[in-house]
Amino acid sequence: MTDTVESGSRSRTRRAILDAAVVVFSQRRTASLGDVAAEASVARSTLHRYFADRAELVHAIAQDVLVAVEKVITEAALDQGTPREALHRLAAGYFELGPRIFFLFNEPTFNAPDTDERVKQFFERLDEIGKPIEELILRGQRDGVFAASLSVDWIIRMFWWMVYIGWEAVDEGALPRLSAPATILQTIEHGISTPPATP
């Protein structure tokens, strides 16, 4: 019983540190581990029992992002319904990951030309997890829903960037959080053109 309680407590503390790190690092890339500990409401010594340094913490966040992305893709059931319906479910799920995506896009470790092996493995795993998205886009192109003139890679890149830009706008107060998912989808589907009238 004691081991179970201890395990649960450790899990909650680790979760609190990871969530706090996403918030702090996405706001200030130069934030210290002390800042993260304060956000997580734990002592810095406690944080160091879980993560020896910033690099270890950052890579733990990255692994957590992979788990979250895979969960969103699975729950979006991309092989069900129309391609547009599946895309809407995926966009809604990805938007909830916004702070984590915001963090990764701004984390120098994941944008440096000479990345270490763990970063390369992260992107390889992300590509693997994202295979259902590629299949969704191909299905949409076959059905005439998504532009066949655009590559699958380009559409996926645009999708990630739109989620990032949406969260950036929310973070800056330029876009209300509640309307952000609809704005992201409208921009993905119609650009800045007026959406077609609903029959």
pLDDT tens digits for 135-147?
A: 999 999 999 999 9
pLDDT-based confidence at 198, cuts 50/70/90? low
Mean pLDDT of 170-195: 89
Question: Please, which residues have CB within 8 angstroms of residue 153's CB and are 6 or more apart in sequence?
Answer: none
Do 102 and 129 lie in a common domain? yes
Question: Please, which residues have CB within 8 angstroms of residue 196's CB and are 6 or more apart in sequence?
Answer: 190
What range defines the domain where residue 43 resides? 1-52
* Domain end (from 21, 36, 52): 52
pLDDT tens digits for 12-25?
A: 999 999 999 998 98
pLDDT beyond 90 at 88:
yes
What is the spatial distance between Cα 170 and Cα 102, in angstroms, rounded to a whole number?
11
pLDDT tens digits for 104-131?
A: 888 888 877 566 888 889 989 999 999 9
Alpha-carbon distances, residue 129 vs 67, 96, 141, 193 (angstroms): 9, 18, 20, 32
Mean pLDDT of 170-174: 90
Do 71 and 161 lie in a common domain? yes
Mean pLDDT of 142-153: 95
DSSP state of 188: H
Q: What pLDDT is attached to residue 114?
A: 67
Q: What pLDDT is attached to residue 148?
A: 94
Residue 138 lies in a domain: yes
Q: What pLDDT is attached to residue 38?
A: 95
pLDDT-based confidence at 89, cuts 50/70/90? very high
Do 174 and 99 lie in a common domain? yes
Do 165 and 87 lie in a common domain? yes
What is the spatial distance between Cα 63 and Cα 70, in angstroms, rounded to a whole number?
11
Which region among 43-47, 71-75, 160-164 has the lowest average model confidence (pLDDT)? 160-164
Residue 86 lies in a domain: yes
pLDDT tens digits for 30-55?
A: 889 999 999 999 999 999 999 999 99
Q: What pLDDT is attached to residue 102?
A: 81
Do 135 and 40 lie in a common domain? no
pLDDT-based confidence at 6, cuts 50/70/90? very low
Helical pair 54-76 and 33-40, crossing angle rounded to 10 deg: 50
